[in-house]
Amino acid sequence: MAVTVSFYPGGSLLDKNSTGFDWIKNFMSNLFEKKALNGAENSYRIYAIIGMAFHSVAYGLFFLNMSKKMSSASAATVLKIVGIANILFNFLIATHLHDLMITISSTLSLLGLYYITFYILKTKLQLLKFCCVICMLTFYYTLFLYGAGDWGLLAVMQKIALISSMLLILGLEYLTKKEDFKQIVPDTQNV
């Protein structure tokens, strides 16, 4: 993605004649188009598509790996489904099905994040509890802006949501283990 951002010809929703990629005014999806918003050929879009493929696989693998840490079989199943489906639907964001895939992928990601947050809230991992809630709120607010059509603020929130979810994923991946999610079962007495 960094290569594509560096060589993006230009144009944004607010200024079609601008040059280069503006982190505040452009959307990441601008990088997937054959022609930039200013009409120039976007010859580096292939790098954006390759980056999206890696991003999609990484998100999918994250949910699959988190499913292995869950003590609840139903939560593990949901996370496996979300992981497998997200690999496909996240990648399709880079196609002409962008808007539909944003809806499907965001819904799946929020479902997976909801399950993870529910179980994180039962652990002693205070920092991750806070991070999960903040990430979910960021996601919801970004989707609200998308639905409301506030494109100016959405361009900024898109990057904030992306960064917060990547940081949360890194935290959940490297700061949790299967033992964190074991449920405390009270002692039972034999009758």
Model confidence at 99, pLDDT cuts 50, 70, 90, reads: confident
* Stronger pLDDT, 13 or 173, i.e. the higher one: 173
* Averaged pLDDT, 91-105: 90
pLDDT of residue 58: 95
Model confidence at 123, pLDDT cuts 50, 70, 90, reads: very high
Model confidence at 185, pLDDT cuts 50, 70, 90, reads: very low
* Averaged pLDDT, 51-56: 92
Query: Is the model's pLDDT at 161 over the cut of 50?
Result: yes
Q: How far, in whole angstroms, is CA 77 from its chain's centroid?
A: 19
**What mean pLDDT is reported for the chain?**
91
Q: Domain residues of the chain, as ranges?
A: 2-177
Strand partners, 187: none
Burial 111-125 (b: 16+ CB within 10 A, else e): bbbebbbebbeeeeb
Secondary structure element (H or E) that encloses residue 55, with its range: helix 45-69
DSSP conformation class of 94: G
Query: Is the model's pLDDT at 191 over the cut of 50?
Result: no
Could you tell me if 36 and 30 are in contact, meaning their C-beta atoms sit under 8 angstroms apart? yes
* Averaged pLDDT, 109-115: 95
Model confidence at 62, pLDDT cuts 50, 70, 90, reads: very high
Query: Is the model's pLDDT at 112 over the cut of 50?
Result: yes
Could you tell me if 158 and 13 are in contact, meaning their C-beta atoms sit under 8 angstroms apart? no
Q: How far apart are CA 38 and CA 20, in angstroms?
A: 10
Contacts of 43 (CB under 8 A, 6+ apart): 7
Residue 70: both structure tokens together? 């869950």
- Could you give the C-alpha distances from 31 to 68, 134, 144, 145, in angstroms and in order? 34, 27, 23, 20
Least confident of 26-40, 57-71, 113-127, 174-188: 174-188
